[in-house]
Structure formats: structure tokens, C-alpha cells
Amino acid sequence: MAIPLKPWESVTPGPVWWTNIREDNHYIMQEHKNPNVGMLGGYGAYRIITQEGTLLAASANTRTEIETNWGQLHADKYTK
């Protein structure tokens, strides 16, 4: 289930704090530019947001976790 982004989590400052590492027609996978952000609490060092930039679809602390989430989101999207 996707989570609406809070106003301060807007993707507007995205280029400042996040780097796009993969995207398609539905989602954008991003990596936080501070590698320690996942250890600081809150959301992880990686996230997947919708192309519209309004929903947080997944968040993880490791690249492996976020890759798994990416695969699950696409399996759900294309099998329903």
C-alpha cells in the first residue's frame, strides 16, 4: 500500500537530496545522497515514489531490499 508523502517530503527538492537510479512509466527508484540517512531513523536510504511524485510506494535501507520491493511492485502492477 502506498503512503502519501508529507509536505516536507515533496519531490520538489528531490534533486538536492535524492538521485534517481531507476524509473519507468509508473515509479521512480531513488537513492538518498547521504548514505547514513537510513541509520538516522525515519525513511530509508532508498525509496520508490510514483511518477506523479505524490505517493511513497516503498522505502528501504539497502539496495537489495529496494530492488526486491521494485520487483514486487511490478509483479503486483502487471498481474492484476
User: Can you tell me the distance from the alpha carbon of 46 to that of 80, in angstroms, rounded to the nearest whole number?
Assistant: 26
Q: Which pLDDT value is given to residue 69?
A: 93
Q: Which pLDDT value is given to residue 8?
A: 47
27-32, strands of its sheet edge to edge: 3-4, 55-60, 46-50, 27-32, 18-23
Residue range 9-25: mean pLDDT, rounded: 72
* 43-55 pLDDT, tens digit each: 678 889 888 877 8
pTM of the model: 0.71
Residue range 55-67: mean pLDDT, rounded: 89
Banded pLDDT at 29 (limits 50, 70, 90) = very high
Residue range 25-29: mean pLDDT, rounded: 90
User: Can you tell me the distance from the alpha carbon of 8 to that of 61, in angstroms, rounded to the nearest whole number?
Assistant: 20
Q: Look up residue 36 and give its DSSP letter.
A: T
